[in-house]
Structure 1
């Protein structure tokens, strides 16, 4: 099932936050993405109803398997593309911003080719 780019961004944010925070809450996602708390609350409700996340009574967010798979895929694309763009001389901040724009629409075949190139350039 294809989900919208914004949902992928939310899932990626949850994954990234979970790597550094003991728990992830909606306010953490809002701060990370620069979105309003009400917007994030609506998105979390949609992701919960879609079976991508669960939320505890305390408001802690956990990625469920379908959400984790999407988040890991987008995160891998983001980090790989950022490395590739940086290796090509793009300033790191711009490389990360451009990677965020490209990561969602790239075909698996094109991503695999770019990943191979990134690995060659960063060895």
Structure 2
């Protein structure tokens, strides 16, 4: 299945909520993303059918290997791009919003160059 930006956002949100709260249900995703519970249910069904998540009998959502790989890749991009933008003087709210858009569309080559530059700046910051 081709993963679209919306699917990546759902997986990333599941990962972030899992890190913050320990367990994740559809209602948590709906609250975090500002979507309706029915919209989230449809999305979770698609992610489950395509092998990205598991939902247990109590409604708790777990990322499967493929889902976890996508979520961590997107979340790492998000954090790195946002931190680089803030280091360059962009306000935090703007940097986080911009990073959310950029994380999906930037090429791997460009991302790796930005990441390398960010790491250099952090290492040499004094």
Structure-1-length-normalised TM-score: 0.97
1: CA distance, partners of 2:27 / 2:107: 32
Q: Say whether 1:102 aligns with 2:102.
A: yes
Cα deviations by residue, 1:71-116 (Å, 9 ceiling, x for unpaired) = 0000000000000100110001110000000000111100000001
CA–CA separation in structure 2 for the residues paired with 1:19 and 1:84: 22
Residue aligning to 1:50: 50
Unaligned runs of 5+ in 1: none
Following TM superposition, by how much is the alpha carbon of 1:20 offset from its aligned partner in structure 2, in angstroms?
1.4
What is the CA–CA distance in structure 2 between the aligned matches of 1:15 and 1:107, rounded to whole Å? 22
Deviation at 1:121, TM superposition (A): 2.1
Q: Residues of 1 paired with 2:50 and 2:114: CA distance?
A: 31
Consecutive aligned runs of 4 or more in structure 1 exceeding 6 Å deviation: none
| Equivalence map 1:41-120=2 (5 Å) | 41-120=41-120
Corresponding residue of 2:21 = 21
- RMSD of aligned C-alpha atoms? 0.8
TM normalised by structure 2 equals 0.95
Q: Aligned partners of 2:60, 2:6: CA distance in 1, in Å?
A: 20
> For residues 102 and 65 of structure 1, what CA distance do their matches in structure 2 show?
24
- In structure 2, stretches of 5+ residues that fail to align are none
In structure 2, C-alpha distance between the alignment counterparts of 1:12 and 1:18, rounded to whole Å: 10
- What is the correspondence of 1:1-40 to structure 2 with a 5 Å cutoff? 2-40=2-40
For residues 87 and 2 of structure 2, what CA distance do their matches in structure 1 show? Answer: 31
Deviation at 1:119, TM superposition (A): 1.1
